[in-house]
Amino acid sequence: MKLLTKFSERFHSSKKFRTWSYILGSVSAIGLLTAFIALIVFIVLPAAYNGGARLMPAYIKATSSLSIDDTIVSSSITKQSKVVANLEKQFNKLTPKANYLVINTTENKFFLYSNKELLRAGICSTGSYTLLVQGDKKKWEFKTPKGIFKIRERKTEPVWKKPDWAFVEEGLPIPSPNHPSRFEYGTLGDYALSLGDGYMIHGTLYQRFLGMPVTHGCIRLGDDDLEAVFKAMPSGAKVYIY
């Protein structure tokens, strides 16, 4: 037993043992390193490459699509900006430099302007769109005409010459053209602005109905608004009705 122990001690301390231990340790380390490199080269890198290959087209497609969308949006904005600039140019060209009146028949409102400056705004009354029929002979639709008009005549203390429909509406016989019953004082207020074809901007006895579509086609204003519009609108001034 002592002999075996002595032999083992002498063998482990010998140069050959140390050499073989070094060689075996180196081989083990190299083996582990080789295995690690093989794992990287043959498994990890191919998987990463294949995954990247799958992801890259989607990334390229997304960025390419984004670039195209940006180009389309930019082009659209440029075109719309030109359209807006052109419309603004036309608007400036068509806007009168002097005073003019705008009538909104949907909301029964008026707006008095001087060029682009709003001088006054308020409620008015416009056509009722009711239909009056006289037998099989004649019918009248009471609507306010739309379009661009001019002040043709200005009157103070105007007298209303009642048309035929006023008598039909009241169930009365229609008198001759200049019969005294046709002339009515005070109905139109203190002022009247004629637009032609019997249509006028005038006052009303029924101011509680302002803001409603109740007229036979004329435009009714309240007393103060009528006076302001009358003073601001000379003959030839434009009236825009829509």
What would the pLDDT profile of 182-231 be if each residue is shown by its tens digit?
A: 999 999 999 999 999 999 999 999 999 999 999 999 999 999 999 999 99
- Whole-number pLDDT of residue 133: 94
Residue 99's CB is within 10 A of a number of other CB atoms, namely: 18
- Whole-number pLDDT of residue 17: 44
- Distance between CA atoms of residues 42 and 34, nearest Å: 12
- Whole-number pLDDT of residue 78: 87
Task: Give the mean model confidence (pLDDT) for residues 115-125.
Answer: 97
Residues β-bridged to residue 113: 100, 118
59 has a pLDDT exceeding 80:
no
Say which residue, 38 or 164, is predicted with more confidence.
Answer: 164
Integer-rounded Cα Rg, in Å, for the chain is 48
Task: Give the mean model confidence (pLDDT) for residues 132-158.
Answer: 95
Band (pLDDT 50/70/90 cuts) for residue 113 is very high
Task: Give the mean model confidence (pLDDT) for residues 103-126.
Answer: 98
How is the chain split into domains, by residue range? 2-94, 99-241
Output the average pLDDT for the chain: 82
Say which residue, 170 or 14, is predicted with more confidence.
Answer: 170
Say which residue, 75 or 140, is predicted with more confidence.
Answer: 140
Band (pLDDT 50/70/90 cuts) for residue 75 is confident
Band (pLDDT 50/70/90 cuts) for residue 57 is low
139 has a pLDDT exceeding 80:
yes
User: What global pTM score does this model have?
Assistant: 0.67
Band (pLDDT 50/70/90 cuts) for residue 76 is confident
Contact assessment for residue 112 and residue 98, using Cβ atoms and an 8 Å cutoff: no
- The rounded Cα 43 to chain-centroid distance in angstroms is 59
Q: Which of 36-50, 98-112, 129-143 has the highest mean pLDDT?
A: 98-112
Whether domain 99-241 has CATH 2.40.440.10: yes
Concatenate the DSSP letters of all residues of the chain into one string.
Answer: -HHHHHHHHHHHTSHHHHHHHHHHHHHHHHHHHHHHHHHIIIIIHHHHHHHHHHHHHHHHHHHHHHHHHHHHHHHHHHHHHHHHHHHHHHHHHHS-SSEEEEEETTTTEEEEEETTEEEEEEE-B-B---EEEETTTEEEE-----EEEE--EEEES-EEE--HHHHHHTT-----TT-GGGEEESTT-SEEEEEETTEEEE--S-GGGTTSS-BSSSEE--HHHHHHHHHH--TT-EEEE-
